[in-house]
Amino acid sequence: DTEVTQTPKHLVMGMTNKKSLKCEQHMGHRAMYWYKQKAKKPPELMFVYSYEKLSINESVPSRFSPECPNSSLLNLHLHALQPEDSALYLCASLGGTGELFFGEGSRLTVL
């Protein structure tokens, strides 16, 4: 299995809602990433987990809360988001050769 699976594919939420994005990989990779991607822009690093511990937080607002329940799962909890947070959220895992394996992304719209 060489896939990174993200759910949901699409999410629409209001500014007062609480929702979660989920990411799963079964390749045995020990580092997992969250990126935010706006249209016509590169993926922007948000968080990195290594061996289930948060290693990198790129000064992301606290309305985004990551969680790594185990080495295969990565969640991104969303609360009190703003319309400007609407974007494609990409999860990725780091292979042994240095390659990042991306999921298809969750397209988030905040109303």
Per CB under 8 A, residues contacting another protein are 31, 33, 40-43, 45, 48, 50-51, 55-56, 90, 92, 94, 97-100, 102-105
- Cβ neighbours for 69, distance < 8 A, ≥ 6 positions apart: 75
Residue 80 beta carbon to another protein: minimum distance, rounded to whole angstroms: 27
d(CA 26, CA 85): 29
**14 or 28, CB closer to another protein?**
28
Residue 14 beta carbon to another protein: minimum distance, rounded to whole angstroms: 25
61 CB neighbour count, 10 Å cutoff: 11
**67 or 104, CB closer to another protein?**
104
Residue 104 beta carbon to another protein: minimum distance, rounded to whole angstroms: 5
Helix and strand tally (H, E) in the chain?
0, 11
